[in-house]
Amino acid sequence: MLAKIVIVGAGPAGIRAAEVLAGAGLQPVVLDEARQPGGQIYRQPPPGAERDAFTLYGSEAGKARNIHAAFGRLGKSVDYRPDTLVWNCSSNALNILHKGRQGIVPYDRLLIATGAFDRVIPFPGWTLPGVFTLGGAQIALKAQGVSIGKRVALIGAGPLLPLVASQYLEAGADVAAVLDVTPFGAKIRALRGMLAVPEYARRGLSLLLKLKKFGVPTAYDVRAIEVTGNWHVDGLKWRDGAGRWHRIACDAVAASFGLKPEMQLADLAGCATYFDEATRQWLPSLQAGGRSSVPDVYLAGDCAAIGGADVAELTGKRAAYSVLRDLGIGFAADELKGIETTLARHTRLRKALDAAYPFPTHLIDAMSDSLTLCRCEGVTVGELRASYVKTSAPDVNRLKAFTRVGMGRCQGRVCGAMAAEILAGQSGASLPDVGRLRGQHPIKPIPMVV
């Protein structure tokens, strides 16, 4: 009997993995939360939408078309199940929810390609209506063909910032400002490393030139942010490296500070993790070929390590080849060799990008006691600090038990890392010692229905 292989996620990693496995005649199951394939980066507009691919994806339009077409070609050689939430993994089976109905999908091999999520750092006004993450702003554009506001300010600490800015400009939006909270000098210093993938460096440069052409006010080394407004965003204040405050009128803000792997499923599957000092976050421990620490579980794309869409396609294929190898199924090794060579260049690029966009800890240091940190449960930064003073909670799970931080609908997806930062800052313990919130099902809320 054929091994049952399940891929979770139909973004660039999941699609390329499915292609390799389907090519070997294995008919993988592809479970995806979205209604159409493409993932977040190549998310498709709903049927009937008016905007064409180029307006939506900008410079990435060609790749988006290729990925969508590649998956389309697979047809019945994959068992594709869209609109399917995977909410638990245990004993080689996944619990799924599809159109309100519960189901179980067993697997022999699991290939997780669940992508990434914005890293959020709270700032004054971050919970006001009209404030989005950069990823959220991008989804509004790609999935709904709408802008998050009439006049939009974009804030970030990663390559997603110029990309979203250019996509908004292409779509005809009024971009009030593009604020990078990392210094410009860091990018200059990292330029050499970025040339490891010349195409990428070229694309980055053209995005920056586009911002210039459109005359968008752009700033680097932004030290502090404050969104203003009573019931909705009405403006943004920011402080530059010289300590001067600036004010911008806008009705929407998109802000996030790099990406983090969506690794809840990998966590429930038992995959080991480690704390990556360079990017200041927890990542799954990877073995050769995209294997996780669990023998039957493979990781690909941004949920394995943040690398972007191009890398996701490659690691998707690589993980699929690892599955084939581990099943003893032969394949032509030429492509895999090429993938490893390209990935090595991308690893150098990623190192350079991490250096070009260092995680903005100055925004964490600036968090005041009155700031809401966990918006689901309404827990402030001050409450976390006070709880530590009272209880000496040594780790973030203990802090959660006392304060409810991370106990709400998002299960700490948004606030967990920042709760750990606050605890470490208050207690003097290291981030690895403070730990991360333990994974529990359901990964996303499931309805109680009979």
Partner 1 sequence: MERLSVDVAIIGGGIVGCAAALALRKAGLTVALLEKGLCGAQASGINAGGVRQQGRHVTELPMTRRAAKLWPRLHETLGEDVEFRQVGHLRLARSEQDVQMLEDYAVTAREHGLYLQLNSGTVTREMFPWVSGKIAGSSLAVEDGHANPRLVTPAYSRAARSHGVHVLEFTPVEHAQWTGSNFEIQAPRLVVKSRHLVNAAGAWAGKFLSFFGESAPLTLRTPNLFVTEPVSYFMTKSIAVCGGAVYFRQVERGNVVLGGGPGWGDLKSERSRNRADTTLGQFARAIELVPELSGLHIIRSWSGLEGDLPDKLPIIGASRTTPNLVHAFGLCGHGFQLGPAIGEILCELIRDGRSQTPIDAFCISRFDAVAHQKMAGAG
Residues that bind partner 1 (CB under 8 A): 88, 90, 95, 102, 390-391, 394, 398, 401-402, 404, 407-409, 411, 440-442, 445-450
Residue nearer to partner 1 on the CB measure, 1 or 448: 448
Question: Of the two residues 174 and 395, which places its CB atom closer to partner 1 in the complex?
Answer: 395
The minimum distance between CB 387 and partner 1, in angstroms, equals 11
Cβ neighbours, 10 Å, residue 3? 17
Helix H or strand E segment including 67: helix 61-74
Comparing CB distances to partner 1, the nearer of 167 and 403 is 403
Largest CA distance in the chain: 68
223-261 burial, b if ≥16 CB within 10 A, otherwise e? bbbbbbbeeebebbebbeeeeeeeebebbbbbbbbbbbb
Tokens, residue 128: 């006001």
Closer Cβ to partner 1, 166 or 273, answer by number: 273
Residue with Cβ nearer partner 1 (90 or 361): 90
Beta bridge partners of 281: 276
How far is the C-alpha of 28 from the C-alpha of 3, rounded, in Å? 9
Query: Cβ of residue 242: shortest distance to partner 1, in angstroms?
Result: 45
Q: How far is the CB of 428 from partner 1 (least distance, A)?
A: 17
3-state SS, residue 388: helix
**One-letter-per-residue 3-state SS of 193-240:** HHCCCHHHHHHHHHHHHHHHHCCCCEECCCCEEEEECCCCCCEEEEEC
Helix (H) or strand (E) holding 49: none
Cβ nearer to partner 1, comparing 96 with 367: 96
CA-based radius of gyration for the chain: 22
CB of 329 to partner 1, least distance (A): 31
Tokens of 118: 């914005």
- CB of 161 closer than 8 Å to CB of 255: no
Judged by beta carbon, residue 189 or residue 438, the one nearer partner 1 is 438
Nearer to partner 1, 131 or 379 (CB): 379
Residues 6+ apart with CB under 8 A from 404: 374, 377, 379
Q: Give me the least distance between CB of 450 and partner 1, in Å please.
A: 5
**Shortest CB 426 distance to partner 1, Å:** 17
Phi, psi of 104, rounded to the nearest 5 degrees: -130, 130
- For residues 304 and 420, which CB has a smaller minimum distance to partner 1 in the complex? 420
Residue 119 Cβ, how far from partner 1 at the closest point, in Å? 22
Cβ at position 391, least distance to partner 1 in Å: 6
* Least gap, CB of 445 to partner 1 (angstroms): 4
CB 404 to partner 1: min, Å:
8
Alpha-carbon distance 160 to 162, whole Å?
Answer: 6
C-alpha pair distances (Å), 251 with each of 27, 127, 131: 48, 14, 9
Give the residue with the Cβ less far from partner 1, 82 or 442: 442
**How far is 86 from 262, CA to CA, in rounded Å?**
13
* Ramachandran sector of residue 401 (left: φ over 0; alpha: ψ -120 to 50; beta: rest): alpha
* DSSP label of 291: B
Closest distance between partner 1 and the C-beta of residue 2, in Å? 26
